[in-house]
Chains A and B, each alone.
Chain A
Amino acid sequence: MNVTCDFLVIGAGPAGMAAAATAARLGLSTVLVDEQATLGWQIYRQVEGRGDNPPGVSHLDWVRGAALAAEFRASGAAYQSGTQVWQLDKDRKVYVTDGTKAACIVARRVFIATGAMERPVPLPGWTLPGVMTVGAAQIRYKTSQWVPQDGAWLAGSGPLVWLYAAQVLEAGGRIAGILDTAPPANTARALRHTMGALRNWATVQRGRALQQRVRAAGVAVYKHVSALEAKGDGQLSSVRYCINGQWHEKPASLLLLHQGVVPHAHATLSLDAAHRWDERQRCFAPVVDAWGNLSVDGYAAAGDCAGIVGAEASALQGRLAALEGARALGVIDATQRDAQAAPVRAALLRHLPIRPFLDALFAPRASLFEPADDVLVCRCESVTARQIRDAVALGCVGPNQMKAYTRCGMGPCQGRMCGLAATEIIARTRNVSPSEIGLFHVRPPLKPLSLSEFAALAEG
């Protein structure tokens, strides 16, 4: 069935919930769609499901998430959960599916808030069962309080490593050890951005408290890990890591990887909106103006999908995009928009200046972007780093030629897992910046669709 609305929001994380609530309050007929079953995505996952207000490390996020979810529920915006967007047209026809039937939503404004994903960084053995991401394990914790009992190894760099470790310990689980891959130079680089960090010192303190908690619990923390390997025959059995040129090996049944988060920009890429390479965050992000407007008319994007800003800033940016949407649709004028935006912008100034500090402190180690030749980069099509390098040597200068040549990025994940890694490999092989290489073209459908889903669309 086709739906028409003023303001369509894609993604029910903090940016999407705040935008939808703001737009609906201003009188726009608003629809929020999200492929997840519940509001709040990763950080505010299950805020509605858990009647108890969890104490401890998750408390503050729970309070903020519950407030946003309540504001959204009270706003009158429509909500379609379990609804995935698989195509966006330039004329703002947005195609969705609930897994059984496809449908089309025609909107006057579309706001994309598809958030972040963990940065995929290929390493030897990362496809073995028993190897997952830290975020994957945290999803199990948030949905059903599952924590590892046999001792999980955590490897990588990023605030999520410490947060998850603290959550596991608090819930009575076991961490075998933390393999910290952040290069030593990160600290000095981060200190150059102390002024920004001072604006939001509470966040820095919260992060330090988490680290202290994890160390105080006696978890072994191995610093300056320069390389990692997952070993096993069809199932993870050990983890190898290198410190100061020395390799070590430890038995492991669960290895959780994390190298920070990057924008999940598949939707904006598929629109052919302008994108930029962000050197500080080592990722591509859509080009947006101060209101989140994209280069494609009637479309906006904000929150982590337009550059990593964190949950609180994402919600604030969502509000700005909704105000601008209301202005563009003639519900408020520019003066009213600016007046309502002023406190939101003031609040953003508390959250944005800390980013350069965090980005520098947890920046991934450069050598991780040069996996050995035999490492699988494309999990779906089983394409190795060597095949990508060979394609470059044969004259495939960009990712799209390389894709046609190797099938890298042609599997069901459509390059979500290998795209950025492949661009980094091509850039290093050619000795140019990733900004010159770009990403794979993203073509609809954004995710594979079955024939029966398509059929429903034709029946209208």
Chain B
Amino acid sequence: MAAERITVYVDGAAVTVSANDSAASAALQAGIGYTRLSPITGEKRAPYCMMGMCFECLMVIDGVPSRQACMVTVRPGMRIERQTGARVLS
């Protein structure tokens, strides 16, 4: 039984993913390469562990910054964006 497919927006581009996927997985599938810039060095970073340990997947999800994208399950229409600014908690 394959999971339902849904559409989310990664940096504005529509991507179809499994409804089980995490936002980080959707970003990887979208092929955007990096998902954030290190607030310390500006280096490009991307999800590393996919299990909530490394915090490399911090992204802006539906306008909320610094969400741990690998721990957020996608929802139809979700907006997933690269985080390029300083570290913030809303």
Q: Which residues of A contact B (CB under 8 A)?
A: 35-37, 42, 46, 49-52, 99, 117-118, 120, 126-133, 135-137, 139-140, 143-146, 234-235, 264, 379-382, 411-413, 416-417, 447-452
Contact partner, A382, options B35, B43, B58, B68, Cβ 8 Å: B43
B34 contacts which of A36, A52, A234 (Cβ < 8 Å)?
A234
Q: How far is the CA of A117 from the CA of B55 in the complex (A)?
A: 14
Is the Cβ of A450 less than 8 Å from the Cβ of B89?
yes
Contact A139 B18 (CB under 8 A): no
Residues of A within 8 A of B2 (CB): 145
Chain A minimum-CB-distance residue to B17: A144
Find out whether the CB atom of B48 lies under 8 angstroms from the CB atom of A411: no
Q: Are A136 and B50 CB-contacts (below 8 A) given A146-B29, A382-B40, A450-B89?
A: yes
B13 to chain A: which residues have CB within 8 Å?
A: none
Question: Given the complex of chains A and B, what is the CA–CA distance between A380 and B3 in angstroms?
Answer: 34
**Are B43 and A49 closer than 8 Å at their CB atoms?**
no
Q: Chain B residues near A382 (CB, 8 Å)?
A: 38, 40-41, 43
CB distance from A379 to the nearest CB of B (A): 6
- 18 A-B pairs within 8 Å (CB atoms) are namely A117-B49, A117-B53, A120-B53, A127-B48, A144-B18, A144-B25, A235-B33, A264-B53, A379-B54, A380-B40, A382-B40, A412-B55, A412-B66, A413-B55, A416-B53, A447-B52, A448-B89, A450-B90
Closest Cβ–Cβ distance, residue A55 to chain B (whole Å): 15
Q: How far is the CB of B66 from chain A (nearest CB, A)?
A: 8
- Interface positions of B from 21 to 75, Cβ below 8 Å from A: 21-22, 25, 28-29, 33-35, 38, 40-41, 43-56, 58, 66, 68, 70-73
Once A35-B71, A127-B43 are accepted as A-B contacts, the answer to whether A379 and B48 lie under 8 Å apart by CB is yes
Are B56 and A379 closer than 8 Å at their CB atoms? yes
B residues contacting the other copy or chain, number (CB 8 A): 41
Most-contacted residue by chain A among B1, B55, B73 (CB, 10 A) = B55
Q: Is the CB of B71 within 8 A of A417?
A: no
Is B20 among interface residues, defined by CB-CB distance under 8 A? yes
The answer for the CA separation of A50 and B44 in the assembled complex, in Å, is 35
Asked if residues A117 and B29 are in contact (CB atoms below 8 Å), the reply is: no
Q: Tell which of B1, B40, B51, B89 touches A139, judged by Cβ atoms closer than 8 Å.
A: B51
In the complex, what's the smallest C-beta–C-beta distance from B84 to chain A, in angstroms? 13
Q: Which residues of B contact A35 (CB under 8 A)?
A: 52, 71
Indicate if the CB atoms of A129 and B33 lie closer than 8 Å.
Answer: yes
Q: Are A452 and B90 in contact (CB under 8 A)?
A: yes
Query: Which chain A positions have C-beta within 8 A of B40?
Result: 380-382
Q: Which interface residue of B29, B66, B71 has the most chain A CB atoms within 10 A?
A: B71
Q: Tell me the nearest residue of chain B to A136, going by C-beta.
A: B50
Q: Are B33 and A417 in contact (CB under 8 A)?
A: no
- Cβ contacts under 8 Å, A51 to chain B: 1
Measured between beta carbons, the chain A residues less than 8 angstroms from B25 are 139-140, 143-144, 146
Chain B residues near A264 (CB-CB < 8 A): 53
